[in-house]
Amino acid sequence: MITPEQLNNNIRGLKPSATLQINEDSNRLLRQGRDIIKLGLGQSPFPVPPPVVKALQNNAHEKDYLPVRGLDELRDIVATYYHKRDNIERQAEDILIGPGSKELLFNLQMACDGELLIPAPSWVSYAPQAIILGRKVTWLPTSAENNWRIEPDTLDQYCTYNPGRPRILILNYPSNPTGCSYSSESLSALSAVARKHGIIVVADEIYAETNYSGHHESIAMHYPEGTVISSGLSKWCGAGGWRLGVMVFPGSLRELQNTMAIIASETFTSISAPTQYAACTAFAPSKELDDYLNSSRQVLHTIATYTVNRLRGCDLSMCDPEGGFYILVNFEVWRDKLYANGITTPEQLCQRLLNHAGVALLPGTDFGLPADQLYIRLAFVDFDGEKALAAISAGEPRDDSFIHNHCPKIISACDRIERWLQAL
């Protein structure tokens, strides 16, 4: 029997993933008969597009091990997709397929012995993955005043005063947890700094297709030689449980890609064959997929606008999200009343809202923000995505009546938060 002393010291102090834990906690309370609105886990509310489902069904008989780097046909289609989107030369040999972008991000850190740089706030699993591997993690400060973007000067100063080590910078945009993104000017300026210091940039673009404007600009367009693009099917294609991720490498980072392929060969081998064949349909040009994405963006933008307006009506502050499912909400204006009720940390705030208002949320500390900042992340995903898509496709107006008809739990969550604050 293994003893606590025999456990890996890097892992011993870690907690389960915050997003997955809040989902399990919410489901447990629901099974107990509690009325819980699930705004914790950021799972896409939309169904997998019918053509992609059909492709999975048609390929259910595929049973062979596929190449470690991924199905050749899929790699070629993904390369074409990114070449068309970013106007940068891509080939099948630049693509690596894995069991979700989460695993690929972990394997990239395993393959590259470098310090991890991440903005504060950032997705909950970047830092724990680095800690498991014994890597140094540095959180770079950002601010709401700058839409939570890393300032080029901040990155430059840190690297200048701490020279001599390889570094990986992860940029996730549109962002989980803020919903904010980067302008072309910001990406250009960051690229200049990354190039100056030889930083590998991992562009986590898992939410790229959810940008409400329909336009996403990759930092790879500004820094092609040093950028690895990470994405998958979980967010824009509604297929989180299918576990298919992709990474796109420049030729200059081929050795990193090759090392990751070796890791894959000794760990997951290759991912589900039917899923890879179905992904060919997901990444291929298609009017039906374009219509699906356009409707998805309209639904998300409508809900985001409603939720932001409602919460600002409670004197809460936040940046306007530009994509994804998330809003990072600041409760600072309520600090005195919260303190008077024994709530001094964002963890306590989320626990009280879960226990007394029945709304599941996550504290900003899970995303790297300090415990003295009263931020919570809200994932506005508890609605029937299939019905909402059908309504948008049928031309239903994108106004408050749309929210009332198709997103009643979002309204209820705002109502509950408002009533709870007023009762403090």
Question: 127-169 pLDDT, tens per residue?
Answer: 999 999 999 999 999 999 999 999 999 999 999 998 888 999 9
The answer as to CATH 3.40.640.10 being correct for domain 50-284 is yes
Structure tokens, 408? 């009643």
pLDDT recorded at residue 165: 83
Q: Supply φ then ψ for residue 312, to 5 degrees.
A: -65, -30
- Return d(Cα 116, Cα 137) in angstroms, integer: 5
- Domain(s) of CATH 3.90.1150.10: residues in the chain: 4-47+288-422
Q: How many CB atoms lie within 10 A of CB 344?
A: 14
Q: Taking the CA of residue 255 as centre, how many other CA atoms within 13 Å lie in the half-sphere pointing to its CB?
A: 4
Task: Spell out a b/e string for 363-373, using b for 16 or more CB atoms within 10 Å of the CB, else e.
Answer: bbbbbbbeeeb
- Residues for the chain: how many in total? 424
Check the CA dihedral 400-402-405-406 and report its sign: negative
pLDDT-derived band of residue 15, with 50, 70 and 90 as boundaries? confident
pLDDT recorded at residue 235: 96
Alpha helices in 313-345 (DSSP H): 335-340
In the predicted model, what is the mean pLDDT of residues 341-365? Answer: 94
pLDDT recorded at residue 7: 64
pLDDT at residue 377 tops 80 = yes
Strands 115-120 and 137-141: parallel
- Domain(s) of CATH 3.40.640.10: residues in the chain: 50-284
The conformation of residue 353, written as its DSSP 8-state character, comes to I
pLDDT at residue 340 tops 90 = yes
Determine whether 392 is exposed, middle or buried from the number of CB atoms within 10 Å of its CB (0-12, 13-18, 19+).
Answer: buried
Cα–Cα distances (Å) from 351 to 100, 362, 413, in that order, read 30, 9, 15
pLDDT recorded at residue 29: 80
Higher pLDDT, 293 or 163: 293
CATH number of 4-47+288-422: 3.90.1150.10
Percent of the chain exceeding pLDDT 70 equals 97
Average of per-residue pLDDT values in the chain = 94
pLDDT-derived band of residue 48, with 50, 70 and 90 as boundaries? very high
Q: Which H helix or E strand runs over 213? A: none
pLDDT recorded at residue 47: 97
Task: Dump pLDDT digits (tens) for 108-129.
Answer: 999 998 999 999 999 999 999 9
- Return d(Cα 84, Cα 86) in angstroms, integer: 6
pLDDT-derived band of residue 17, with 50, 70 and 90 as boundaries? low
pLDDT-derived band of residue 18, with 50, 70 and 90 as boundaries? low
Alpha helices in 198-272 (DSSP H): 254-266
- Return d(Cα 244, Cα 222) in angstroms, integer: 27
In the predicted model, what is the mean pLDDT of residues 211-223? Answer: 97
pLDDT-derived band of residue 5, with 50, 70 and 90 as boundaries? low
Q: Supply φ then ψ for residue 276, to 5 degrees.
A: -65, -40
Question: Which residues, at least 6 apart from 17, have a Cβ–Cβ distance to it below 8 Å?
Answer: 124, 125, 128
pLDDT recorded at residue 33: 86
pLDDT recorded at residue 9: 76
72 forms beta bridges with none
- Return d(Cα 130, Cα 127) in angstroms, integer: 5
Instruction: Kindly report which listed range (38-42, 145-149, 173-177) carries the lowest average pLDDT score.
Output: 38-42
